[in-house]
Amino acid sequence: MASSIVENLNKYLDQLGTPILREAVLAGTTFTAPNPITKIDGVKYQHQINLITSTPLVQVDGCAPNGSTITATGSVTLSGQVLQVCPLQFLESVCNKDLEQYWTGMLMPLGSYIEELSPKELATVYLADKVDKIAAFLDDIFWVGCSSVPGTYSVDPNMAYCNGLLYALDYTNASSVLTLGTASGAITAANAIAVVDAMVQKLITSAPQTLTQPDLTLFVSYQTFQNILTAWRNFNGFHIEVGQSDENTVTANQYFIYPGTQILVKATRGLNATPNKIVLTYAKNLVMGNDSPTDSSAAQVWWENLTQTMWYRSAFKIGAQVAYPQYIVYKNI
């Protein structure tokens, strides 16, 4: 008889006693220390990055000959790079009435007029997830965004709304960028050291002005980052500490100093869509434009009576440019 008591019941499933867990998000590193790039705030549409280049020429000190005047030598040139931002937004709606029909409804306050994102346990996780996902999106679109030729660098449709840094290097500044040339194709553990060494040598010979910059950085994808680490392990340089205990080479945060140089190797998720492209320059030479620096993390959340839903809106501007393309070594293939 005991079985007849429970035969029409479902076994209990506790959906209320555990917290809501968020999925892992690969964080963006382009805009964060160490070696963050330059960020320009307050850009509504276009902003000129003002630049100066000069070539001082020495001459013998003395008086001008009779009947003549002194002659100036050297040159100073003012120029600029145009940084244009794209106005973008993420817009979502959540219907509390739908959530009432599931376990989430048991956590909601009493009443049929709940004019907030509810339950609070969901709201907290929902908003935190959005902040992380949008920060990751900004890192991606800064590097591989391409509105002029969508799909050039990434199949992600979100990347088709603004031109990123790779577009600036490949198209608008291509004549000035120092491309690697000889080292093309996929980066593997077998060739990673040779490729990076070639890029360092290119920087030394073609842009020695950069060598005293304190933020020289090799920006790579996470795949290439791991291949470089594996290459050094396979090299068996037992006396070279890479990714172990020294704070300058520890890789828990996905960066380390390239052995024998002052160059920081830094993995950034934005290059994951194009894992074989590498950018070597000083970090301040790369420029990201936005309006308010808190726009992307200060979202609007409001109740809309006309739709009986909660709305979420994160609006921001994003743009990418390089100040001096002639000081960039670029593995573009």
Q: How many helices (H) and strands (E) does the chain have?
A: 6, 13
pLDDT band per the 50, 70, 90 thresholds, residue 322: very high
Tokens matching residue 21: 């867990």
Residue 76: pLDDT over 60:
yes
* Span 41-65, pLDDT tens digits: 999 999 999 999 999 999 999 888 8
Mean pLDDT value across the chain: 91
pLDDT band per the 50, 70, 90 thresholds, residue 180: confident
* Span 93-117, pLDDT tens digits: 999 999 999 989 999 999 999 999 9
Instruction: Give the pLDDT confidence score for residue 157 in this predicted structure.
Output: 97
Distance from C-alpha of 200 to C-alpha of 223, rounded to nearest angstrom: 20
> In the chain, where are the structural domains located?
38-54+74-331
Average pLDDT over residues 232-261: 74
Rounded to the nearest 10°, the torsion over CA 273, 275, 278, 279 is: 20
For the chain, what percentages of helix, strand and coil (3-state, to nearest 5) are there? Answer: 30, 25, 50
Average pLDDT over residues 135-163: 97
Sole residue written with tokens 């000069």: 54
Distance from C-alpha of 64 to C-alpha of 242, rounded to nearest angstrom: 60
pLDDT band per the 50, 70, 90 thresholds, residue 185: confident
Tokens matching residue 317: 């501007």
pTM: 0.91
Average pLDDT over residues 24-38: 94
Distance from C-alpha of 58 to C-alpha of 163, rounded to nearest angstrom: 43
Instruction: Give the pLDDT confidence score for residue 1 in this predicted structure.
Output: 47
Burial class (CB in 10 A: 0-12, 13-18, 19+), 61: exposed
Residue 3: pLDDT over 70:
no
Distance from C-alpha of 26 to C-alpha of 14, rounded to nearest angstrom: 31
**CATH number, domain 38-54+74-331, options 3.90.1690, 1.10.3470, 1.10.860, 3.30.390:** 3.90.1690
Beta strand residue intervals within the chain, DSSP E: 38-40, 46-55, 75-84, 86-94, 178-179, 216-220, 255-257, 264-267, 278-282, 286-289, 300-304, 309-322, 329-331
Distance from C-alpha of 182 to C-alpha of 47, rounded to nearest angstrom: 35
Residue 266: pLDDT over 70:
yes
Tokens matching residue 216: 């020289």
